A = this chain, B = another copy of it.
Amino acid sequence: MQTKRRRLVPSHRVNIDRVFHALGDPTRRAMVEKLSQRPLSVSLLAKPLAISLAAVIQHLEILEKSGLVQTEKVGRVRTCSIKTAGLSIAEQWLDERRTTWEQRFDRLGDLLAEPDEN
């Protein structure tokens, strides 16, 4: 049953994996939500979150690797800010699906106009 045709998973999608994975966690989304309002130091970002600073730093690493957040250390303060690259990749993927889906509905309209045997 499993005919091994072409893989549907091109390697350039690795980043999309990371972006969606990163956004699948409510704490990380909360961090992205805060950072889309303004850049924040790690401690200010951590304050409203009911998790340890160590956990926040782990989440930050995941967000950085996925291209959703960037951090910069100036003096003793590490400042976190949003990076739109990650958001754009996710938006683009969703947008492509919607376009494909809507085009299909246009075609479906034509098909429904044809007589149906069932």
Binding site for B on A (CB under 8 A): 1-9, 13, 16-27, 29-30, 32-34, 36-38, 43, 46-53, 82, 84, 87, 90-91, 93-95, 97-98, 100-101, 104
Contact = CB atoms under 8 A, between A and B. Distances in A.
Number of copies: 2
Contacts of A9: 26-27, 29-30
A52 B3 CA distance: 10
* Chain A residues touching B, majority SS: helix
Contacts of A7: 48-50
Given A2-B53, A9-B27, A26-B9, A97 B47 contact: no
A22 B93 CA distance: 14
